Structure 1
């Protein structure tokens, strides 16, 4: 890998922020570049980081919800009250959490109210 993941992501986010370019052409060209550099295996991580950087640049945040079970419509509605329009929202179901929810904002702030964490803190 010639370049670090974050360097690739910064470059991609910067290019995609210019609305005068065709997003599909840029993405295809970027993937060809990764393939030539031998970094195609990092494409998913680079794209996720670029998405996060682009949102942050535009004053938006990235919010990740991890729960043990699928959220009900009422639970989703309650959580979405804290989300602004344009924010990136991702959900993941992880049965290992047993119960509860983990919320991560901008990959920096974390609220972990899962039973798994509470059990691990006891022992």
Structure 2
């Protein structure tokens, strides 16, 4: 009896490892060159962080960013909103600019929160321009 339970448990664990990661499709896993390709890359300044009620998701924080420029892909909105697991884990802070990389999904865009890259603030010389 014990051996049968071990076999069943082993099959369940192997089967669970064959499922794609939650929130990612197999197509997003990796590209042949090892570097991920993104549907949208933009520079945005974080204007607001707030918790959201997402019962079946680990991404329980919404991030609103003012779009400064679109580097790759097409996006015409003035703001870009996405969700993350934790703003502190992602290193996000309000009024800071970041390079945001996202892949298009059925419900919008999925941002790779661990690859957010802060853009250094522009330095203006004293006295203007």
TM-score (norm 2): 0.30
| Structure in which a larger fraction of residues adopt helix | 1
| Structure in which a larger fraction of residues adopt strand | 2
